[in-house]
Structure 1
């Protein structure tokens, strides 16, 4: 298989989000350049040290997820979902030819989307006014819109087990669970704007601004002592019962009720925001940095100079 090097694939690109569906494979959704009136994007699959990719234009891509079986989904802020086969193609042309585009007509009226996740085989998209859609084959089905105290909320992330059992966090500081019929607001011991959550064996972990990290064990929550209340956490993920959170300058690990920094060589030249759990560890994606944590050790996979 031939493809682009890291330097050529990431030229002028900014990784918005990534995922590793199986060991040895990385999928990244990137914006290219800074023309916000005519957004350009690049989507790539890294296998064997090279990238296969294709370009997408018209709306900025924000989120990506994939199944182990070979389907990947990229979400644009205006509601378009691009589905493609990450597993079979051996060339960039084959990867591009596998694309299918699905447009959600409701997004233009309600507002942009922010996150896509494949949960229990269901493809869910969530957005800036509490809206959640399920992509069934080629049709978007709207779930009940989330409001808190009759006010609109912005869903930042979602995790769970499928369309009938998942939870979301909002930038206003709320956690809510959907049971297949209705929303249930979850009481939390801390108020903060939340950015990300991940599912644990028996609960969830969430993170956000001002050093906020919370871990649940059943119905009870632990507030993890912050290393720095000025530190905002943007990503959270778990592997082998360890929970990791990412801030712009590095990654911290939950140890008991406290946080400890993960040792990362040359961290000043790297960037960190998005964390995704995988079969072989926790993966990190930000700007032009791709790395992963395995056995509590950081490994840099891609480290192009950060965007200015």
Structure 2
């Protein structure tokens, strides 16, 4: 995959990214720091093209895209924008392809934090356990996540469908949704859980603050022994059975039952927050930095 240094504008700050197809990167960025009129940009890099469109009134927090299109970007005020990253050959075409869907319930309940394509389902979740599925042009509210009667802040979701997914929360809880109800995972941790990803054979990897890492499924979970230095993990992604975990200082690798740091050359400043699996490897997205772990090797894209 080739770098695309010209795609980002000076005030663009990458919140999240997706690698939906070989050689394709889709980025969701906030622009500047105007809280009164927030601005956001979606950047698409593919086939030697660098396309983007700007939208206002909402701060982009999450993005995902299907291998054959379309893509979806989520704003914390509840806006979901669908766009056709695959067919557009110019910034004008990309901008014209977008369609916005507003979720009025968000204004009363609180902001959303994560959007994921779970199989063919578009699901977003937020700050008081609210979960929505975008079906056609309407949002359907799924069962709200509560544990012991308390609303929880969902940080991340993963799974094969809207009727079979795992959520992790900043309150230290994990839960599985079966299409009808949430079931609490047997995790003995009080640290914030920040990220979750799927593994082969129906298993998941979960990570969070204080070097917290869990591997398992259903009610069988194993805590991964921490490295010598304490980390707060903010991103997680898998390449087969190998798990990559992002923290402020770099990326750790879990394989063979143990954690180790990924060797990252220090020729330039890198940032590490979000990790996403894709056909090119594991993408790393943060601030002004995009990287890729392919075949176990780190390379800088931006």
Is residue 39 from structure 1 mapped to residue 38 from structure 2 by the alignment? yes
Distance 1:50 1:290 in 2: 17
Alignment partners' CA distance in 1, 2:295 and 2:252? 14
Change (3 A) 1:85 1:218: same
Shift of 1:223: 1.3
CA distance in 2, matches of 1:144, 1:42: 31
Aligned to 1:56: 55
State the match for 1:165 in structure 2. 164
Structure 1: unaligned runs, 5 residues or longer: 303-308
Q: Which residue of 1 aligns with 2:251?
A: 251
1:85-234 to 2 correspondences below 5 Å? 85-201=84-200, 202-216=202-216, 219-228=219-228, 230-234=230-234
**2 CA distance for matches of 1:133 and 1:240?**
29
| Structure 2: distance between partners of 1:173 and 1:212 | 10
Give, in whole Å, the separation in 2 of the partners of 1:133 and 1:100. 18
CA distance in 1, matches of 2:218, 2:297: 29
Provide runs of 4+ in structure 1 moved above 3 Å: none
Question: How far has the Cα of 1:242 moved from its partner?
Answer: 0.4
Q: CA contact under 8 A between 2:7 and 2:43: conserved in structure 1?
A: no
Q: For residue 215 of structure 1, report the CA deviation from its aligned partner.
A: 1.0
206-215 or 250-259, which deviates more: 250-259
Summarize the Cα distance change of 1:49–1:267 in structure 2 as closer, same or farther, 3 Å threshold. farther
Question: What is the deviation of 1:8?
Answer: 5.5
1:107–1:113 contact (8 Å) kept in structure 2: yes
| Structure 1 residue 33: Cα displacement | 0.8
Q: What is the deviation of 1:69? A: 1.3
Kept in 2: contact 1:83–1:101 (CA 8 A): yes
1:305 corresponds in structure 2 to none
Deviations 1:105-164 (A, max 9, x none): 111111110000010100001000000000001000001111110011000000001111
- Per-residue deviation, 1:7: 3.9
Give me the whole-angstrom Cα distance separating, in 1, the residues matched to 2:221 and 2:114. Answer: 25
Per the normalisation by structure 2, the TM-score is 0.95
Cα deviation, residue 251, structure 1: 0.5
Alignment match, 2:77: 78
